Amino acid sequence: MKKFFETVVEKILMVSGTITSLTIILIIVFLFSQATGLFNSSVVEENHSLVVNSQNRVQTLTPMQIKDIFDQEITSWIEVGGEDEDIIVFRFSDITSYVSEEELGDEFQFIPQVMSKIINENPAIIAFLPDQYLPNPTDGTRVMDCGDITLGDFFGGEEWFPTAQPAPLFGVLPLILGTLWVSLAAILFALPFGLAGAIFLSELASSRVRSLLKPIIELLAGIPSVVYGFFGLVVIVPLLQDWFNLAVGETALAGAIILAIMALPTIITVAEDAIRSVPRTIREASLALGASKFQTIVKVVIPYAVSGIMAAVVLGIGRAIGETMAVLMVTGNAAVIPTTLLEPVRTIPATIAAELGEAPTGGVHYEALFMLGVILFVITLVISITVEIIASKRPKQIM
Amino acid sequence: MSIIKASDVDFYYGDFHALKGISMEMERNSVTAFIGPSGCGKSTFLRLINRMNDLIDGTRLTGSIEVEGRNIYDKKIDVDTLRAEVGMVFQKPNPFAKSIFDNIAYGLRVNGVKDKAFIEQRVEESLRGAALWDEVKDKLKKSAFELSGGQQQRLCIARALAVQPKIILMDEPASALDPLSTAKIEDLIFTLKSDYTIVIVTHNMQQAARVSDKTAFFYLGELIEYDDTKKMFLSPQVEATQNYITGRFG
């Protein structure tokens, strides 16, 4: 009977372990499968095409060029390798300024013919059309082949503008840099305080002070991030705006400060554990040689605990990189490559949270957001592997 | 004149009365062994001599311990200086996470020695003093953790020698070692005696008999008997000592 019971418990444990692992793998597979479509998608918005006169010498355009043309930053074909002619931008809604509504037919059945006529009359035109209204390609018109979104466009692109028409821009550089800026700055702020806190708690504080402070610090880790964000928005953002005389206080610096506060409990707790796990006899050995308490801490205890402290730092970075809500609330979310900490930035998690709701399921934007998720996953994976490696290098005593 | 002199030492861990009225003197350049069953207070007493028990919260001491005529529990005494004069070797080898060289040099550096040549010379002397030089002279830059347990313990002894203390306290220095390493440590104690005063706590009767000049038997926080080692082992005056030495309890 007892044996049977133990077998059952064993099986239950095995099943729950397997389910957990499978779920995690499933999530990763899902993430990747949702993201893979991105690089097979056309540069131009789905089910739409760019049509030009067949005389036009320009064969292809990059997403950036398309955006600039439609924003009228580029006004002559010569700038993109064509004739010295002013570009005529044509959006589908412009059609009524060329012809009357009657000419389109009752069910818009004449639109393709009308379009080929317009394009033939205006050799310098570039028309952005839904695919069902494309003119007959033999009529002196040509659909411009802009190809698919490339890895270079995605990882090297400097603009994130997923709702741009006709070609959305998915340059993740500003997002990756924004994430790294905010996270690294946060760690730079959090590290000295975290280390100081850990040393104070483990070495200097009396046991009464420690038993009072430690739960409070651990409690900080449990505060929902939206509350931190709220605090940042109401307190830190106006403060920064005042101090640095900024137009807007929602900056990378505000995000870094909030993240530093949020990463502190992790850093302090893990580093304190590492420092406290330094064997007592190591401290005693140092003191017995006539070293002062401070010399012992700096020269013996911290070097001994350095791998644990590193792990604390990397875990802190991990926490900072993945943090979404608080950052979303205080960083201003401008997808621009940051040059100083006093500018608004947008991070990867914040982008996903803010945009996933309005990205149509299965669309390019949706896939791009999942690709951001993949990037984030890879970054955190690298971080946890680093932690593993560092932690496995803990000094071991032969005894 | 005795180098260590304890007078009426009472010591408490909180409410626990760990040492009761200990008075004893130890001679310069002698080896004194503390024996007694676990929890009898011998390690506690040893750790009073370099004020290592200061690290434990809630302890209290009455009476006085003098090292070279100065009460080390006097408020004017600088504990760090005292500990540089009274070295200690612990039960388990506890090298720092540093190279062999830096382990030895550490004590000099924290005491303000900057002269590199002097440090190098002291490191070699200390390692020779601890009979470890020949084994490690080619790998001074290697981590101390690469040494065997016995070598680590001799490294810890060398580390204590480097700051040139007058007294070396040893808290069961061989209890974690194999017989061969133990023999090396015992030989070492014998040679060190000419330059240092050594106090050693041990659970091993034979070891006490082999290495020490005088032996003190502690029991339940009291100093039961303290005499020349030969006399203690051949004709102890107190029955408890006799029983303990012959292995009838403890």
Secondary structure letter of residue A339 according to DSSP: S
Can you tell me the mean pLDDT for A97-124?
84
Q: List the single range of A92-101, A233-242, A268-277, B226-235 with lowest mean pLDDT.
A: A92-101
A39-48, pLDDT tens digit by residue?
Answer: 888 888 888 8
- Domain boundary assignment for chain A: 2-40, 48-147, 173-392
pLDDT over 70 (residue B234)? yes
* Angstrom distance (rounded) from CA A324 to CA B131: 61
| The CATH classification of domain A173-392, taken from the options 2.60.40.1180, 1.10.150.20, 1.10.3720.10, 3.40.50.300 | 1.10.3720.10
pLDDT over 50 (residue A399)? no
Please report, in angstroms and rounded to a whole number, the separation of the first and last CA atoms in chain A.
43
A5-38, pLDDT tens digit by residue?
Answer: 999 999 999 999 999 999 999 999 998 888 888 8
Q: Does the beta-carbon distance from A286 to B52 stay under 8 Å? A: no
Measure B226 CA to nearest chain A CA, in Å. Answer: 26
Element (H, E) at B64: strand B59-67
Name residues whose C-beta falls within 8 Å of residue B80's C-beta, 6 or more positions apart in sequence.
A287, A290, A291, A292
**Considering only alpha carbons, which residue of chain A is nearest residue B78?**
A290
Angle at A106 between CA A102 and CA A109, to 5 degrees: 100
Is B194 exposed, middle or buried (CB count within 10 Å of its CB: 0-12, 13-18, 19+)?
exposed
Q: Does the beta-carbon distance from B94 to A281 stay under 8 Å? A: yes
pLDDT over 60 (residue B123)? yes
Contact A299/B at CB under 8 A? yes
Q: For chain A, give the number of residues.
A: 399
- Of A309, A278, A286, A279, the residue nearest A197 (C-alpha): A309
A142-193, pLDDT tens digit by residue?
Answer: 888 888 888 888 888 888 988 888 888 898 999 999 998 999 899 999 999 9
B32-80, pLDDT tens digit by residue?
Answer: 999 999 889 999 999 999 999 988 888 999 999 999 989 999 888 899 9
B190-221, pLDDT tens digit by residue?
Answer: 889 999 999 999 988 889 999 999 999 999 99
Q: What are phi and psi of A355, to 5 degrees?
A: -105, -20
Chain A interface disruption, residue of B47, B81, B96, B148, most A CBs within 10 A:
B96
Whether residue B250 lies inside any domain: the answer is no
* Angstrom distance (rounded) from CA B241 to CA B248: 10
- Of A117, B66, A356, B189, the residue nearest A127 (C-alpha): A117
Q: For chain B, give the number of residues.
A: 250
Chain B interface disruption, residue of A284, A289, A304, most B CBs within 10 A:
A289
Percent of chain B with pLDDT over 70: 99
Angle at B85 between CA B124 and CA B114, to 5 degrees: 50
Beta pairing partners, B99: B143
* Angstrom distance (rounded) from CA A325 to CA A348: 11
Q: Which amino acid is at A39?
A: F
* Angstrom distance (rounded) from CA B57 to CA A207: 9
- The CATH code that applies to domain A48-147 is 3.40.190.10
pTM beyond cutoff 0.90: no
Beta pairing partners, B22: B9
Q: What is the pLDDT of residue B250?
A: 54
Q: What is the pLDDT of residue A288?
A: 93
Contact A331, A344 (CB under 8 A): yes
Tokens (6 digits) for B63: 């009476």
Whether residue B235 lies inside any domain: the answer is yes
Tokens (6 digits) for B22: 């200990």
Range of the domain at B83: 2-245
Scanning the structure block, which residue is given the tokens 């390692």? Answer: B127
* Angstrom distance (rounded) from CA B248 to CA A247: 87
Name residues whose C-beta falls within 8 Å of residue B67's C-beta, 6 or more positions apart in sequence.
B3, B4, B49, B82, B85, B86, B166, B167
**Considering only alpha carbons, which residue of chain A is nearest residue B175?**
A399
CATH value at residue B237 = 3.40.50.300
In chain A, residues with a C-beta closer than 8 Å to the C-beta of B53 are none
* Angstrom distance (rounded) from CA B190 to CA A310: 44
Partner-chain residue, chosen from B83, B92, B149, that has the shortest CB–CB distance to A281: B92
Whether residue B92 lies inside any domain: the answer is yes
Neighbours of B142 (CB within 10 A): 13
Q: Which amino acid is at A94?
A: D
Neighbours of B192 (CB within 10 A): 21
Q: What is the pLDDT of residue A395?
A: 53
Neighbours of A398 (CB within 10 A): 13
Contact B201, B49 (CB under 8 A): no
**Considering only alpha carbons, which residue of chain B is nearest residue A395?**
B97
In chain B, residues with a C-beta closer than 8 Å to the C-beta of A286 are 96, 106, 110
Q: What is the pLDDT of residue A394?
A: 57
What is the total count of domains within chain B? Answer: 1
- Of A320, A378, A327, the residue nearest A183 (C-alpha): A320
Contact A395/B at CB under 8 A? yes
Q: Does the beta-carbon distance from B96 to A284 stay under 8 Å? A: no
